[in-house]
């Protein structure tokens, strides 16, 4: 008789973004005339850069010709793309070699799957609030108990990120094995400094812990003094995995392409250099036949000089949206964080209003969808996230409605 994986039953609710979509649909059904503006999920809206389109068109044409047709590729990705990704890191001052690069269908899959190469009793530390995938994937893998009354899964180590600590956590005061860090941060929109990352790298080296560093929003960093990659920090090649993506930079949220860096030097308590790299290779060879050849060609084209110029323009467009949202929220008297060097604006909900209550209020009064901070973890309660990935005209409209229709005390 087949039995189910009992760990799935410990998941306390549905995944955050489908839940928001469900509540939004319900509101739309009840209010059919409402013109809803979506600043909830961080989903890109502008068209793909021309370089990506040209790269993919060329690859499609090659697939249509038996002499240039390619079937299965290496699960690690095509060599030119791996080389271009490694070169990008070098330009950032981060040491990444071609062999470390594993191309994938996105940072979401990698950040969910990477835990599978670690022991099932690994103690996992997460920033709180955090992108829900880090927590949910570890719940599904059986590393936690049930969610307690504080909204925390038993067995996980929550590292609170609040206004008081500038939304970057203290170094754990206990021994943990896996540490998830996202910078620029989703959802708080804050960016870790070099000194803050050094603290975690030193902790990881001393404790033989591994950092899983999500840098999906690195391209949004405008301040040159802020690190774009954990590998800008000495020692990180021994203790950190990094995931990143073409989704937000090149508008590939629907096209799908990302990568993981698993350095050949990476170590763990019971694994010398090379072991984890081999394990991830083995895992990917078994579960994955590589990202689409066509999509990889598109991603590669965005890393050409012309492609970088075009993706830079896209990033600037969304960052201007972030500035407009920030200024609007400040102008109506709200307390605002993030939105600089990151495409998410994180605000404090008005006194006495929970983050889900604010979701209903913003939707009801302004027909604008955002994301309640509590959806990202218990320390997100009392906060709310707005995404800057919309069309400019919708950002203008949403901010006008917030200025004119949102009833604030």
Judged by the rule CB under 6 A, the positions of this chain that interact with ligand MLT are 41-43, 108, 131, 186
Which H/E stretch holds residue 296?
helix 293-302
Residue 313 burial (CB < 10 Å; 0-12/13-18/19+)? exposed
Nearer to ligand MLT, 86 or 342 (CB): 342
> Which residues are registered as beta bridge partners of 336?
347
Give the residue with the Cβ less far from ligand MLT, 350 or 370: 370
Rounded Cα–Cα distance for residues 95 and 86 (Å): 8
> What are the C-alpha distances in Å from 11 to residues 75, 133, 144, 159, 380?
31, 12, 10, 20, 18
User: Least distance to ligand MLT from the beta carbon of 397, Å?
Assistant: 20
| Residue 48: HSE in the Cβ half-sphere, 13 Å Cα cutoff | 20
Pick the closer one to ligand MLT by CB: 203 or 355. Answer: 355
Closest CB to ligand MLT among 43 and 365?
43
Q: How far is the CB of 136 from ligand MLT (least distance, A)?
A: 12
Q: Which is nearer to ligand MLT, 39 or 96 (CB)?
A: 39
CA dihedral 116, 120, 123, 124 (to 10 degrees): 30
Bridge partner residues of 26 (DSSP) = none
Q: Which H or E run contains 293?
A: helix 293-302
Sign of the CA dihedral 380, 384, 388, 389? positive
**Smaller CB distance to ligand MLT: residue 108 or 348?**
108
Q: How far is the CB of 1 from ligand MLT (least distance, A)?
A: 36
Residue nearest to ligand MLT (CB): 42
Residue 357 CB, shortest distance to ligand MLT, in Å, is 20
Q: How far is the CB of 17 from ligand MLT (least distance, A)?
A: 6
Nearer of residues 39 and 233 to ligand MLT, judged by Cβ: 39
Nearest distance from residue 53's CB to ligand MLT, in Å?
Answer: 22
Element (H, E) at 102: strand 101-104
Output the smallest distance, CB 340 to ligand MLT, in A: 18
Tokens of 390: 């919309």
């Amino acid at each position: 008789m087949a039995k189910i994986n009992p760990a799935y039953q410990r998941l306390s609710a549905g995944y955050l973004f489908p839940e928001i979509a469900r509540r939004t649909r319900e509101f739309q059904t009840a209010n059919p005339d409402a013109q809803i503006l979506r600043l909830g999920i961080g989903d890109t809206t502008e068209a793909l850069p021309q370089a990506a389109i040209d790269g993919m068109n060329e690859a499609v044409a090659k697939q249509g010709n038996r002499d240039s047709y390619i079937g299965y590729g290496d699960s690690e990705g095509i060599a030119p793309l791996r080389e271009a990704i490694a070169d990008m890191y070098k330009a950032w001052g981060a040491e990444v070699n071609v062999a470390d690069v594993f191309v994938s269908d996105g940072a979401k899959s990698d950040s969910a799957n990477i835990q599978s190469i670690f022991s099932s009793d690994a103690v996992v530390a997460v920033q709180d609030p955090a992108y829900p995938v880090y927590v949910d994937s570890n719940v599904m893998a059986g590393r936690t108990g049930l969610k307690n009354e504080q909204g925390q899964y038993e067995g996980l180590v929550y590292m609170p990120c609040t206004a008081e600590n500038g939304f970057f956590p203290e170094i754990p005061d206990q021994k943990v094995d896996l540490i998830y860090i996202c910078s620029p941060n989703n959802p708080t929109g804050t960016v870790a400094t070099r000194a803050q990352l050094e603290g975690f790298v030193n902790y990881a080296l001393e404790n033989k812990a591994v950092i899983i560093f999500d840098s999906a929003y690195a391209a949004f960093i405008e301040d040159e003094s802020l690190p774009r990659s954990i590998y800008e920090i000495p020692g990180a090649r021994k203790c950190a995995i990094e995931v990143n993506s073409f989704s937000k930079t090149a508008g590939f949220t629907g096209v799908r392409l990302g990568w993981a860096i698993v350095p050949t030097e990476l170590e763990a308590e019971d694994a010398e250099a090379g072991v984890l790299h081999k394990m991830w290779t083995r895992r990917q060879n078994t579960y994955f036949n590589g990202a689409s050849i066509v999509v990889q060609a598109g991603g590669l084209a965005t890393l050409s000089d012309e492609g970088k110029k075009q993706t830079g323009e896209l990033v600037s467009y969304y960052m201007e949206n972030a500035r407009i949202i920030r200024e609007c929220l400040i102008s109506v008297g709200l307390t605002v964080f993030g939105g600089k060097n990151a495409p998410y604006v994180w605000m404090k909900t008005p006194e006495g209003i929970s983050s889900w209550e604010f979701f209903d209020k913003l939707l009801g009064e302004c027909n604008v969808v955002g994301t309640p901070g509590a959806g990202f973890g218990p320390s997100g309660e009392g906060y709310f996230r707005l995404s800057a990935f919309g069309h400019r005209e919708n950002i203008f409209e949403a901010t006008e409605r917030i200025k004119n229709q949102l009833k604030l005390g």
